[in-house]
Structure 1
Amino acid sequence: MASFHLLFSYATIVLAIIAGITYATRSIWGPRLRQFRYFPVHDSFESDIQNGLTSNSFDLIQNVLAQDPRAGLDEAASMEIKGIMKKQQCSFDQARLIYLRDTMSKNNIDPSGLPMDSKAVTKL
């Protein structure tokens, strides 16, 4: 019985130390933990509009009015564009342009739309 109390005392001390270290280092791990927050699933154009993913030049309201049966915008692209908007404090249209240029660059396409691959045939 005495060993149980001794073990319980040690466990309490270890937990107190872990809690203290966690509290003291919260400024280090706290921002990293925020990236795992819940994001709602994009399941319709209405939710895309509510998340700010529409503009005068990219009007999703017409899709809602036409009762478009599709599931909304691509979820991965929407999340990335939303992240660009938040990180760079820019509008939806600017974030779409940044996302498009980044995607084109990753696919070896220059900003004019031509492939940067020297073996690509662009004229016949």
Structure 2
Amino acid sequence: MYLFFTLFVLTIAAGTALYLTRIRWAPALQSFLSTTSLPGGAYLYSALPSSFQGDMEAGLSSSTFDLSGNVADGSDTRAGLDDTAKREILRIMQRRRLKFDEARRVYMEERFAANGIGADGRPRDPKFVSFS
């Protein structure tokens, strides 16, 4: 009984100490995890591609969203797709196990919903008047 109580108190004390000092050790742990090749380490952190060629290699291209025209001759020096959108689309692809086109559709629907636009493309504002 005393052993259980002692382990419980030590666990609570250690957890509290780690929580209160997380500002000091969390960045070091994050940099350690990003540089070490632990099993599943690529899942914890992966650098976003920074060019259209990298976007294609990461799976951010399809027949309906073709990036091959941008890299065909190799003279396109633009940075590639938007980093925020890439990160979100890759997250959707990994978590929901979707192909690029479906993940891009889900991402756009989420952005539309966040901005008050319905799935049909019309604003969800009840005061909206359309003359069509």
- TM-score, normalised to structure 2, is 0.62
Q: Give the gaps of 5 or more residues in structure 1.
A: 1-13, 19-32
Structure 2 residue aligned with 1:79: 87
Q: 1:117 to 1:91 in 2, by over 3 A?
A: same
Cα separation, 1, equivalents of 2:105 and 2:131: 27
1:38 partnered with 2:45: yes
Cα separation, 2, equivalents of 1:35 and 1:61: 26
Q: Give the gaps of 5 or more residues in structure 2.
A: 1-9, 15-32, 34-40
1:65 positional shift: 1.4
1:42 positional shift: 2.9
RMSD: 2.6
Count residues with an aligned counterpart: 94
Secondary structure of 1:101's aligned partner: helix
1:54 partnered with 2:45: no
1:54 positional shift: 0.5
CA contact (8 A) 2:112 2:119 kept: yes
1:96 positional shift: 0.4
Cα separation, 1, equivalents of 2:101 and 2:72: 21
| 1:1-124 paired onto structure 2 within 5 Å | 37-66=44-73, 67-123=75-131
Q: 1:41 to 1:91 in 2, by over 3 A?
A: closer
1:50 positional shift: 1.1
Cα separation, 2, equivalents of 1:60 and 1:38: 25
CA contact (8 A) 1:42 1:71 kept: no
The amino acid that maps onto 1:37 is L
Q: Percent identity?
A: 38
Larger Rg: 1 or 2? 1
